[in-house]
């Protein structure tokens, strides 16, 4: 009875072996078909992107019986930037990635924040302008204040008077 049930059912091992042999024998043809399909999909995406792109015709020039167009493609690099702020300004760079470049390295962030001016310091989301032990400086921090509130030299906690985070003063002793 077992022999009859094996003959009537599907032998998956044999089927897998047959498919494996077929794949190996026809690998070149299969690879060509895959490359052609992927190329067709990429070409279609490029054509669609070109058709959907906003094109501004600045001028049409006729030379040697052919029309030429000048096409301007806007990259939107400066879309969220303040128009009064030059693209290479320190504030633009700070907003674009200062904090990301020091992610996971708090000691390096503390040193980098210490080099910033008050204006640049308060333009970041990872530095605060703080008054601790009667001294104002830029230190690493967030909406909760400075990260390091301990004086390494005196081995004692620092007294925090106030701090500015993203141009807002926090603390009991904020200047009026």
Domain boundaries, the chain: 1-74, 90-170
Going by C-beta distance under 8 Å and a sequence separation of 6 or more, which residues neighbour residue 50? Answer: none
Per residue in 13-23, pLDDT (tens digit) is: 999 999 999 99
**How is residue 94 annotated by DSSP?**
I
**pLDDT tens string 82-103:** 555 555 555 555 555 778 887 7
- Comparing 98 with 55, the larger pLDDT belongs to 98
Note whether 116 and 138 are within 8 A (CB).
yes
Global confidence as pTM: 0.44
Q: What stretch of H or E contains 136?
A: strand 135-142
pLDDT at 56 > cutoff 50: no
């Amino acid at each position: 009875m077992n022999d009859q049930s094996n003959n009537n059912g599907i032998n998956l091992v044999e089927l897998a072996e047959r498919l494996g042999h077929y794949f190996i024998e026809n690998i070149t043809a299969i690879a060509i078909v895959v490359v052609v399909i992927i190329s067709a999909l990429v070409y279609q995406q490029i054509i669609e992107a070109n058709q959907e792109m906003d094109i501004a015709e600045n001028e049409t020039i006729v030379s040697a019986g052919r029309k030429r167009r000048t096409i301007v493609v806007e990259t939107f690099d400066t879309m969220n930037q303040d128009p009064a702020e030059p693209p290479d300004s320190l504030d633009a760079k700070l907003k674009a990635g200062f904090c990301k470049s020091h992610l996971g390295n708090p000691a390096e962030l503390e040193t980098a924040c210490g080099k910033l001016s008050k204006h640049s310091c308060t333009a970041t989301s990872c530095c605060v302008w703080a008054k601790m032990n009667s001294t104002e400086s830029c230190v690493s921090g967030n909406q909760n204040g400075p990260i390091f509130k301990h004086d390494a030299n005196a081995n004692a906690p620092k007294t925090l008077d106030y701090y500015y985070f993203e141009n807002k003063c926090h603390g009991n002793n904020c200047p009026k």
